[in-house]
Amino acid sequence: MNRIHFPRWAEVLEKSDLPQSERQSFRVTLRWYLSWCRQHSSGCTFTSAREFVKWASQEKNADDWMVERWRTAIRWFFRTAKQQARDESAQFGRAVSQEIPDTKAFSNTDDTDAERVVAANDDEKEILVTMRRRGMALKTERAYLRWFRDFSRWSGGISGREIKPERVKDYLSYLAMDRLVASSTQKQALNALAFIAQSVFGVDLGDISDFCRAKNRKKVPVVMSKEETRIFFSQLNDQRRLMGRLQYSAGLRVSELLRLRVQDLDLARHQVVVRCGKGAKDRVAPLAERLIPDMHSHLERVREVFEEDLKRTDLDGVYLPEALGRRHSNSGKDWRWQWLWPSREISRDPRSGKQRRHHVLPQVYQGAVSRAGKQAGLNKRVTSHTLRHSFATHLLEDGVDIRSVQDLLGHKSVETTQIYLHVMQKPGTGVKSPLDTL
């Protein structure tokens, strides 16, 4: 049976609409259940859940109402995990294959049909092994696997070695014509299937360029004015405001912001070092002088969390790139390598299975940014990337040359940076609308 992986359950539970007393009850039960699974080297499956409830009822000599309360908590865990997986795949249109069983199976009666789950896929294991051997990012692993599952389903469940060039072209045309996906989405599907076919299964796709391509629309970035940016920041609270101001100050991508380590801050030089950004490139970004006192205070709070974690024997050090982790085995417990924005919750590493403190998840920060944009009353769809767009546009409006902005943003080509010229308050050389001269 496939195991359910839901590391963010405590965070999701805390934000749920359940009453406080019920959330507390669920939290105790689920921590007990997950601890029991670790002790018995068992994954989170319906079989382990039934065994846990049976053991717990005997251990505690529990009444029926207490057993039902445990079942309710575990049902919530499985049901919410399934919904989270569906939401993750929703961006691809039709839902892809789910590896999480129906939560109705976990009931008082044994229902073997409902308990049935999808068997582990040998093709997917082979794909994962190849990607991890090449050191590909976890986000890339998940995206490529979702595309492979979706393509396999659309093709009637074919295996990886049965991939044909004509079928891939038909699928890509289907994405453009039926699903109406964006050009970037279609390109990601092409990259995923080409890599899987050629690098994993040794299938030569040849020239597959003659498929129906999705329209490549030129989008004007959403940019806030300086006044709107000030109002927006006023709607963020505490740490999220500091995160947003740092992202705007340095023009960071959200992934670059969240992956900052303590050693990446150079407060004396007012700089942020972005390591292994897009395209595996490092760069130096500016840090606003007015943020220095707040960053000092924030580092003190992070240090307290770090020292508390050092006292715990059940935690491994912070995640490090594999080569570095092997070369310096104790660097994960070095202060300099700690995340600048540590999560409040302990989670399990999806690859190694180790218990450690990860950084704040993108969804948490992005949700706070979205809510702040609405609360500020802005008639724009504000996302975390809007702060990066605003950083570039405001620099150009202040007279910074476009090549400097290109370097600060980490753009490979100046053509990418030129899009911000279209949203400046004074496009061109002092060009005014003809309406103003009537």
302's tokens: 């992070």
The CATH number fitting domain 122-200, selected from 3.20.20.100, 3.30.390.10, 1.10.150.130, 3.30.428.10 = 1.10.150.130
- Residue 322 has a pLDDT of 66
> Which candidate, 288, 257, 258, 284, places its Cα nearest to that of 270?
288
Closest-CA residue to 170 (of 154, 188, 146): 154
Best CA proximity match to 196, nearest among 257, 150, 237: 150
Helix (H, G, I), strand (E, B), or coil: what is residue 160? helix
Buried/exposed 190-221: b ≥16 CB within 10 Å, e otherwise: bebbebbbeebbebebeebeebeebeeeeeee
Q: Do domains 122-200 and 226-422 have the same CATH topology?
A: no
* Closest C-alpha among 259, 242, 278, 231 to residue 382: 231
Give the number of C-alpha atoms closer than 13 A to the C-alpha of residue 233, restricted to the C-beta side.
17
pTM over 0.95: no
Three-state secondary-structure class, residue 428: coil
Positions marked catalytic: 253, 278, 385, 388, 411, 420
Residue 117 tokens, joined: 């789950």
Secondary structure (DSSP) of 57-109? HHHHT--HHHHHHHHHHHHHHHHHHHHHHHHHHGGGSS-----S--GGGSSSS
| DSSP three-state, residue 170 | helix
Q: Which pLDDT belongs to residue 313?
A: 82
CA distance 34 to 25: 14
- Name the pairing type of β-strands 342-348 and 265-266: unpaired
Closest C-alpha among 291, 277, 284, 296 to residue 249: 291
DSSP state of 381: -
If one looks up domain 226-422 in CATH, what number appears?
1.10.443.10
Residue 224, CA distances (Å) to 182, 245, 256, 269 in order:
25, 14, 21, 28
Cβ contact 106:71 at 8 Å: yes
Cβ atoms of 427 and 421 closer than 8 Å? yes
3-state secondary structure of 285: strand
Q: How far is CA 24 from CA 54, 99, 227, in A?
A: 22, 28, 42
Tally of residues, the chain: 438
The structural domains of the chain, with segments of one domain joined by +, span 9-115, 122-200, 226-422
Give me the phi and psi of 159, to 5 degrees please. -85, 170
pLDDT digit string (tens) for the chain, length 438 residues: 456 778 778 888 888 888 888 888 899 999 999 888 877 777 788 888 888 998 888 888 888 888 888 999 999 998 888 877 666 544 333 333 333 344 444 444 443 333 323 333 578 888 988 998 887 888 889 899 999 989 988 988 788 888 999 999 999 999 999 888 889 899 999 999 999 999 999 988 888 888 898 887 777 889 999 999 999 999 998 889 999 999 999 999 999 999 999 999 999 999 999 988 887 789 999 999 999 999 999 999 999 999 999 988 888 888 887 667 667 677 788 999 999 999 988 888 877 778 889 999 898 999 999 999 999 999 999 999 999 999 999 999 888 889 999 999 989 888 888 888 877 755 554 556 676 666
pLDDT, position 285: 93
Beta carbons of 368 and 240 less than 8 angstroms apart: yes
pLDDT the model gives residue 354: 83
Which helix or strand (DSSP H or E) is residue 116 part of? none
Burial per residue of 394-427, b for 16 or more beta-carbon CB atoms within 10 angstroms, e otherwise:
bbbbeeeebeebbebbbbeeeeebebbeebeeee
Task: Show Cβ contacts of residue 348 under 8 Å, excluding neighbours closer than 6 positions.
Answer: 7, 354, 355
The confidence score (pLDDT) of residue 94 equals 38
- Contact assessment for residue 374 and residue 218, using Cβ atoms and an 8 Å cutoff: no
Task: Give the whole-angstrom CA distance, residue 156 versus residue 186.
Answer: 20
Query: What residues have CB less than 8 Å from 45, skipping those under 6 apart?
Result: 1, 2, 3, 4, 117
DSSP assignment of 9-65: HHHHHHTSSS-HHHHHHHHHHHHHHHHHHHHTT--S-HHHHHHHHHHHHHHHT--HH
